[in-house]
């Protein structure tokens, strides 16, 4: 039995690439702009054509079905209706894309913010100067309760009573994607300089994270860092 022809396989590949880029990828990471998706589809088509035209036989395998499909000769039944559908849908799709490209944006610009931009050099590689003693952790916990708990919450999960109005929301320290993947030095920077200390990729203008150097000493910040890890049940990242 012959398998599906090269043209059909190519079509399936093209559809699969589109579905993967447009719908599957956004589940994992930031969505790709449509222009980039078209570029990838275009490259896929080139690949298929190059592969298909390597030999006379494969050229026929690639183009033959396409030609027959287009001309409508020698096909029948369901394929014939499919041909009609394609011939009708294609101009409509082009029209729709043109409309979509010109129509005013109805959604705010996608502003993807880098959650963990690089810290300034002076905050790289600092280590906590205070010993991790129960007293220090306890003092840190007290400071956390007074200063951080309204936003980051009693459970260290960002669900404080004052968290609702802020976008982005306060960080969830219990989530493995926040302090567990950071070094203490990084936290020290973030707490001392706050949201306004972020670089432009971090969108400092949106962050409600206060600049604590105004109110807390360095020692207090180091104690809070210990308390944060203890309370959230996490360990700072170290480079071993």
Partner 1 sequence: MRTVPLRYRAAALLAVAVGLLWVAPALSQETVVVRAKLIQGEVPTDPAAPIWNTIAATEFPMSPQVHWQKRIGSVTAKSVKVRGVHNNKQIAFMVEYADPTQDPADAAALEFMVGDKKAHFAHGQPMGQVEGGPVNIWYWRNDTPAAADMSAQGFGTLKKQAQQDVQAKAVWKDEKTKVTFKERKLSLRKDPKGEVVKDPQTGNPIVDEDTKVAEQEVSGVWRVVFTRALTTTDKEDVQIQPGTFPNVAFAVWDGKKLESGDLKEAGSQKAVSSWWYINAEPPPDYSIYLYGLIAVVLAAGVEFVIIRKVKKGQPA
195 binding ligand HEC? (CB under 6 A): yes
- Distance between CA 65 and CA 60 in Å, rounded? 8
Q: Which class for 220: exposed (0-12), middle (13-18), buried (19 or more C-beta within 10 A)?
A: middle
Contact mark string toward partner 1, 154..173, x via CB under 8 A: xx-x-x-xxxxxxx------
Burial of 132 (0-12, 13-18, 19+ CB in 10 A): middle
Q: Which is nearer to ligand HEC, 52 or 170 (CB)?
A: 170
Q: Tell me: does residue 170 bind ligand HEC (CB under 6 A).
A: yes
171, interface contact from partner 1, ligand HEC, none, CB < 5-8 Å by kind: ligand HEC
**Of the listed pieces 34-42, 47-55, 124-132, 198-206, which binds partner 1 according to CB under 8 A?**
198-206
What token pair was written down for 74? 């020698």
- Residue 40 interaction partner, one of ligand HEC, partner 1, none, beta carbon < 5-8 Å per kind: none
User: 219 near 131, Cβ under 8 Å?
Assistant: no
CA atoms within 13 A on the CB side of 185: 13
Q: Are 171 and 187 in contact (CB under 8 A)?
A: no
- Asked if 135 touches partner 1 (CB under 8 A), the answer is no
Q: Which stretch binds partner 1 (CB under 8 A): 37-45, 51-59, 91-99, 173-181?
A: 91-99
Q: Counting beta carbons within 10 angstroms of the beta carbon of residue 11, is it exposed (0 to 12), middle (13 to 18) or buried (19 or more)?
A: middle
In the list ligand HEC, partner 1, none, the entry touching 178 (Cβ below 5 to 8 angstroms by class) is ligand HEC
Angle at 209 between CA 203 and CA 212, to 5 degrees: 125
Part of the chain binding ligand HEC (CB under 6 A), chosen from 30-38, 53-61, 79-87, 209-217: 209-217
Tell which positions 25-64 bind ligand HEC, by CB under 6 A: none
Position among 190, 222, 223, 231 found at the interface with ligand HEC (CB under 6 A): 190
Is residue 122 at the binding interface for partner 1, with CB under 8 A as the rule? Answer: no
Q: Does 193 bind ligand HEC (CB under 6 A)?
A: no
In whole angstroms, what is the distance from residue 19 CA to residue 175 CA? 30
Instruction: Give the CA count within 13 Å in the CB-facing half-sphere of 7.
Output: 13
> Hey, which residues between 19 and 48 contact partner 1 (CB under 8 A)?
19, 23
* Window 146-165: residues binding ligand HEC (CB under 6 A): 147-148, 150-152
The DSSP line for 54-96 is SSHHHHHHHHHHHHHHHHTTT--HHHHHHHHHHHHHHHHHHHH
Distance of alpha carbon 208 from alpha carbon 227, whole angstroms: 21
Residue 91, binding choice from partner 1, ligand HEC, none, Cβ under 5 to 8 Å by partner class: partner 1
Binding site for ligand HEC (CB under 6 A): 115-116, 147-148, 150-152, 166, 168-171, 178-179, 182, 187, 190-191, 195, 207-210, 212, 224, 228
């Amino acid at each position: 039995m012959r398998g599906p022809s090269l043209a059909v396989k190519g079509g399936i590949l093209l559809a699969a690439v589109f579905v993967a880029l447009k719908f599957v990828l956004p589940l994992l990471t930031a969505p790709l702009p449509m222009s980039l998706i078209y570029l990838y589809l275009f490259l896929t088509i080139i690949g298929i054509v190059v592969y298909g035209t390597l030999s006379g036989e494969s050229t026929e395998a690639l183009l033959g079905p396409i030609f027959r499909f287009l001309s409508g000769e020698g096909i029948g039944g369901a394929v014939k209706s499919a041909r009609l559908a394609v011939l009708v849908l294609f101009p409509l799709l082009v029209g729709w894309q043109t409309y979509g490209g010109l129509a005013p944006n109805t959604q705010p610009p996608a502003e993807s913010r880098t959650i963990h931009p690089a810290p300034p050099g002076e905050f790289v590689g600092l280590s906590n100067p205070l010993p991790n003693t129960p007293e220090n952790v306890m003092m840190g916990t007290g400071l956390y309760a007074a200063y951080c708990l309204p936003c980051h919450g009693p459970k260290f999960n960002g669900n404080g009573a004052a968290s609702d109005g802020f976008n982005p929301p306060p960080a969830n320290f219990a989530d493995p994607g926040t302090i567990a993947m950071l070094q203490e030095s990084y936290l020290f920077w973030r707490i001392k300089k706050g949201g306004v200390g972020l670089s432009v990729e971090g969108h400092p203008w949106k962050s409600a994270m206060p600049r604590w150097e105004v109110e807390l000493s360095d020692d207090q910040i180091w104690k809070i860092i210990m308390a944060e890890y203890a309370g959230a049940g996490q360990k700072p990242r170290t480079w071993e």
